[in-house]
Amino acid sequence: MAQKIYLNGKLVPREEAKISVFDHGLLYGDGVFEGIRAYDGRVFRLSQHLDRLYDSARAIALKIPMSKKEIEQGVIQTLRANNIKSGYVRLVVTRGEGDLGLDPRNCEKPSVFIIADKIELYPEELYKKGLELVTVATKRNIPEAIDPRIKSLNYLNNILAKIEAGLQNMPEAVMLNKDGYVAECTGDNIFIVKDNVLITPPFYVGVLAGITRQTVIELAREKLELLVKEEVFTRFHLYNADECFLTGTAAEVIPVVKIDGRQIAEGKPGKITNRLMKEFRDLTKDEGIKIY
Ligand code: PMP
């Protein structure tokens, strides 16, 4: 079956899903997006993703030409049209077609498109063994320039970090902020556990407000009755953590066992990490808007 793409209110075959070379999304990375998961016929935390999309859009003064309800219907329609029960949804809003100047006032109408596809995951083995990471030289964008809370189409900051990790044959990079505090990875938030306290960097360090991050904070408090702190920390704390893991829509909860050549604790996924992985997977089974 040919893949169907949602483009500005219509479902069209993949070959017809085209955007102008004058679209400022392409020319300047001027736009916003979301990555969303569907699990067994349910869309996970869709309203939180839509809230974040609209917040990102407002932050760049982009008026999305559709209501949240209409976009929600678009996401569901696209999944149905492609007969996907479990998969990944990419929702994108670009500034639209303009001229070669920067000025967004010359862009007539934002474009909205939605792609539903199968999901590419880290191999299951890595969830059992854990990831190895490296800290890279590329700093996370400073919030005073481009706030990392804006999930914009301009991902070059993250891509530069990913290139650095790739050159060292590492799957992910730890990005610090300009003051040397741990911020996040190129496509995931980061957590450590120390003395039974769960710690993750606060937003002002310069991190995306991850939907998985928030879900894990809730699970840790409600199901594991853990103390959770949003607190700054450095690489010293990473190296001396009892446990470390990443969170993201695609990766879910994934353990980290080595950073910059230093083994984290015993070099195995930690107890709290394993429990959160399981609680998260259980939650995805019975939460979310039904597609069918
Ligand atoms: N940080 C960055 C930079 C990301 O791009 C993402 C999502 N891909 C995340 C964190 C995780 O956010 P979420 O849990 O909402 O997927």
- Assign 3-class secondary structure to 11-49: EEEHHHCCCCCCEHHHHHCCEEEEEEEEECCEECCHHHH
Ligand 1: which of 149, 175, 189 to mutate, most ligand atoms within 8 Å of CB?
Answer: 189
Tell me: the pLDDT tens digits for 189-245? 999 999 999 999 999 999 999 999 999 999 999 999 999 999 999 999 999 999 999
How would residue 288 be classed by pLDDT, with cut points 50, 70 and 90? confident
What's the gap in Å between 184 CA and the centre of ligand 1?
9
Percent of the chain with pLDDT over 70: 100
Specify the pLDDT at position 121.
Answer: 79
Output the ligand 1 site: residues, CB below 6 A.
Answer: 35, 158, 184, 187-189, 208, 210-213, 247-249
**Distance separating alpha carbons of residues 115 and 269, to the nearest angstrom:** 33
Specify the pLDDT at position 122.
Answer: 87
Specify the pLDDT at position 120.
Answer: 77
Q: Is 11 exposed, middle or buried (0-12, 13-18, 19+ CB in 10 A)?
A: middle
Residue 188 has pLDDT above 80, yes or no: yes
Tell me the two tokens of residue 44: 């996970």
Q: Is 151 a catalytic residue?
A: yes
Tell me: the pLDDT tens digits for 67-92? 999 999 999 999 999 999 999 999 99
Has this prediction a pTM greater than 0.85?
Answer: yes
Ligand 1: which of 188, 216, 246, 249 to mutate, most ligand atoms within 8 Å of CB?
Answer: 188
How would residue 292 be classed by pLDDT, with cut points 50, 70 and 90? confident
**Distance separating alpha carbons of residues 200 and 223, to the nearest angstrom:** 18
